[in-house]
Amino acid sequence: MARENACKAVALEDIDDGAMIDLIVDDRPIVIFRRGDEVYALDDNCDHMDSPLAGGEVDEYVVTCPWHGAEFDIRTGENLCPPASGPTPAHGAFVEDGYVYVVIKDGTEC
């Protein structure tokens, strides 16, 4: 993962294990998920009616869109069921010195 393009997003301690947090990273709505010491980052967007994923239910590695129930794999952004028609962008995420960093997929630099 290209750490030189990483954006410092949030302290790891601010995300409960098994939970998510939504925030803006370099002007982009992102949702970060925590599973133990692992973190994952997706665009905070379901392509079905342009709805946010934040506030949805998380079960293991699946987030359910709170508006209409589309499901996504938090590790890859893969769409697992309708009504969404495609994946949501997944971004690199890692923890260093107690902070979560996000590497935006399109190469955006912070």
pLDDT tens by residue, the chain, 110 residues: 557 789 999 999 999 999 999 999 988 999 999 999 999 999 999 998 889 999 999 999 999 999 999 999 999 999 999 999 999 999 999 999 999 999 998 777 77
What is the SS3 assignment for 4?
helix
Give the global pTM. Answer: 0.92
Nearest to 89 by CA among 32, 38, 45: 45
What is the SS3 assignment for 19?
coil
Going from N- to C-terminal start, the domains of the chain cover 20-90
Judge contact between 16 and 33, C-beta under 8 A.
no
What's the CATH superfamily of 20-90? Rieske [2Fe-2S] iron-sulphur domain (2.102.10.10)
pLDDT given for residue 16 in this prediction: 97
pLDDT given for residue 1 in this prediction: 52
